[in-house]
Structure 1
Amino acid sequence: MFLGFPNPGLICYMNASLQSLLTLTEFVEDIRSQEDVLALCPEAQLIRCFLNIVKCRSSADSRLKLEAVMKFKRVLSLQAVEFGCGGMKDAHEFLTAVLDQIRNLVLPLSKTAACMGRSYSCPVQRHLLFKMQNTRICKGCGVRSIREEEFTTLSLDVIPGGSVQDMIHMQHMERELEFRCQCGGNSSGLESRLLTLPKYLILHLKRFKFTKNRVMIKLVDPIVLSREMLVTAHQGDQSYGLISVISHVGSSARKGHYVSDGLHPDCRMEDGADRWLHFNDIYVLETSGEMVSKWNSEESYVLIYQRRVRLHSL
């Protein structure tokens, strides 16, 4: 198998992120099925570059793959300029930039599809987007302010020794917030809850934080990397299974190396086969989900879960 991507220098964050996106079978197939629309829309260069990566992924030609990956990086950096220069970047920030730019292409691609007598379906909105409701409650007068927002990733505080399920539960608990209310009060509570859930749920573990002296450090606390979990939202409970992990190897926030693990492309989550692949740039090794959850408890940074069967609706 030649599924790895070459790394000429400090692009491991991009290789790991791309490998995780390629694990999302239905997301990739959605893009493939609309290739004729993408070809006629000048603004859709980024998605066409991603599709080129999909096509050459299994090639043994490292030069061809490097050209495809670096072109993707150049096109992305036209709007996300921080990725245009060299040096190590953050994998989560890169992944977010990719998804945001694909979402921003909905209007031009919809117009192109309409001219062809077709309709365009955004793969990010269809498979990755979810809604959250944030409610701020003033501790002084009790007035509530409610806001709904759309996200593609859910950022979670790391609970040492806790499970991913615990972190999602803590996200829903009320948190103290400094806010100046019209009543004169300075303290409020913030409650967050999921309204909808996506096909693929991307979780970002906040392992990098600033100290009081403004020094960025990495939290290497081990967690329980849940392979199966139940997520509660307003629309109902959903069962999810882990299919991809991006890990940051290293103790420093300024240094380190990104790798990823993903469900084997020959397997589906429903099969029950525990075959996974470990991606370390050009090197690819076969592993298992059991080993991934065991060895990445201290290094896991971005987790991707796939929705299983919907259990019930509220």
Structure 2
Amino acid sequence: MDISRSHFSVDRHHKLCLLAAFKKAVSLWNPEFKDLHQKDAHEFLTSVLDQMRCLGQQLQVLASSIGSTYSCPVEGHLVFKMQNTRTCKSCGAESTREEEFTHLSLDLVPAHGTVQQMLEHYLIETELDFTCECGATTSGQRSSFINLPRVLVLHLKRFRFSPTLELTKDNDPVVLSRDLVVPSSQGGGCYSLVSTINHIGGTVTSGHYISDGVDPDVGQEDPTDRWFTYNDAVVTETSGASVCERRERFSYILFYTRRD
């Protein structure tokens, strides 16, 4: 909240102190982020969201003690449920399991695959080796949304292990979908791209993170399509169309907001 309140401050020293305090708080929970070495943005984001969720109940009690209320922003905006269904290919027996997520990790689709295609690929049924009570050993497994979040976070799997178990980066281009249609058992939802986190660099051991985000004061239908690129302390004005064109090979985490 301190960082949010200082957004328009011109006091650089104060901002640096706040960011250092934030990093220290995160590292108390996850010591991996204590040093100054390069870290993975997706792992850092996941750690921050997990910490915020774990603090939710404690903050609700604290708020109640001073006559106020608190609702966790992660629970209210990012959390959604998925249903995993396993079906025996022989007898048709099904088993289901529900699981909560704050984001989805998607495999890249070769040859300029779109984000919409990547999401659809995540939801299609895949073959699974599983011994059913009927004796059959092959089942199909598929995932589906039970409900939809207000903000959908998609992590693109650009870092993967090669056949020789060497960690490599995949720089294949991804067509960034400005609009996304997501189905669920409670009805589908339409989403708009509002931010990207990008890894600039060709290897897993080097690189630089920059972020792009839509101007929160400009609506999605505004013809100016004004975005900003955040490159450390350098902030430049850009457009959503330019972001989608320039980030095809570097996009790593995408943020979509649901349109009511």
TM-score of Structure 1 vs Structure 2, range by shorter chain: over 0.9
**Other-structure match for 1:211:** 162
**Other-structure match for 1:188:** 139
Matches within 5 A, 1:76-87: 76-87=26-37
Distance in structure 2 (CA, Å) of the matches to 1:211 and 1:217? 7
* Residue 118 of structure 1 pairs with residue 68 of structure 2: yes
- 197, 201, 210: which is aligned to 1:250? 201
Corresponding letter in the other structure for 1:164: V
Residue by residue over 1:33-81, the C-alpha shift from the partner in whole angstroms, topping out at 9 and shown as x without a partner, is xxxxxxxxxxxxxxxxxx1211223333322211111111111111112
**Other-structure match for 1:260:** 211
Structure 1 residue 271, shift from structure 2 partner: 4.0
**Other-structure match for 1:103:** 53
Matches within 5 A, 1:49-88: 51-88=1-38
Distance in structure 1 (CA, Å) of the matches to 2:96 and 2:78? 23
Residue by residue over 1:83-114, the C-alpha shift from the partner in whole angstroms, topping out at 9 and shown as x without a partner, is 11221111111111111111111211121222
* Residue 231 of structure 1 pairs with residue 182 of structure 2: yes
Q: 3-state SS of the aligned residue for 1:104?
A: helix
Matches within 5 A, 1:126-141: 126-141=76-91
- 244, 256, 260: which is aligned to 1:305? 256
Q: Could you tell me the TM-score, scaled by structure 2's length?
A: 0.94
Residue by residue over 1:266-310, the C-alpha shift from the partner in whole angstroms, topping out at 9 and shown as x without a partner, is 32335453000001001110000000000101110100011113x
Distance in structure 2 (CA, Å) of the matches to 1:57 and 1:102? 20
Matches within 5 A, 1:4-15: none
Q: 3-state SS of the aligned residue for 2:236?
A: strand
Distance in structure 2 (CA, Å) of the matches to 1:91 and 1:157? 17
Matches within 5 A, 1:8-23: none
Give unmatched runs, 5+ long, in structure 1: 1-50, 310-314
Q: Say if 1:99 and 1:270 are closer, same or farther in 2 by CA, change over 3 A.
A: farther
Structure 1 residue 186, shift from structure 2 partner: 4.0
Corresponding letter in the other structure for 1:127: H
**Other-structure match for 2:237:** 286
Structure 1 residue 135, shift from structure 2 partner: 1.0
Q: 3-state SS of the aligned residue for 1:198?
A: coil
Distance in structure 2 (CA, Å) of the matches to 1:104 and 1:113? 15
Structure 1 residue 174, shift from structure 2 partner: 0.6
Distance in structure 2 (CA, Å) of the matches to 1:296 and 1:181? 45
Corresponding letter in the other structure for 2:142: E
**Other-structure match for 1:11:** none
- 62, 82, 93: which is aligned to 2:43? 93
Distance in structure 2 (CA, Å) of the matches to 1:302 and 1:74? 23
**Other-structure match for 1:166:** 117
RMSD, matched Cα: 1.6
Q: 3-state SS of the aligned residue for 1:269?
A: coil
Residue by residue over 1:144-177, the C-alpha shift from the partner in whole angstroms, topping out at 9 and shown as x without a partner, is 2211111111111111211111111111101122
More deviation in 131-140 or 179-188?
179-188
Q: Say if 1:223 and 1:105 are closer, same or farther in 2 by CA, change over 3 A.
A: same
Percent sequence identity is: 48
**Other-structure match for 1:146:** 96
Residue by residue over 1:124-144, the C-alpha shift from the partner in whole angstroms, topping out at 9 and shown as x without a partner, is 111111110011223354332
Distance in structure 2 (CA, Å) of the matches to 1:280 and 1:260? 7
- 206, 209, 224: which is aligned to 1:273? 224
Distance in structure 2 (CA, Å) of the matches to 1:110 and 1:261? 33
Corresponding letter in the other structure for 2:100: E
Q: Larger RCO: Structure 1 or Structure 2 (Cα < 8 Å, ≥ 6 residues apart)?
A: 1
Q: After TM superposition, where is structure 1 displaced by more than 6 Å over at least 4 residues in a row?
A: none
Corresponding letter in the other structure for 2:82: M
Count of matched residue positions in the alignment of Structure 1 and Structure 2: 259
Structure 1 residue 185, shift from structure 2 partner: 4.3
Corresponding letter in the other structure for 1:191: R
Distance in structure 1 (CA, Å) of the matches to 2:259 and 2:70? 26
Q: Could you tell me the TM-score, scaled by structure 1's length?
A: 0.78
Q: 3-state SS of the aligned residue for 2:205?
A: coil
Distance in structure 1 (CA, Å) of the matches to 2:20 and 2:89? 51
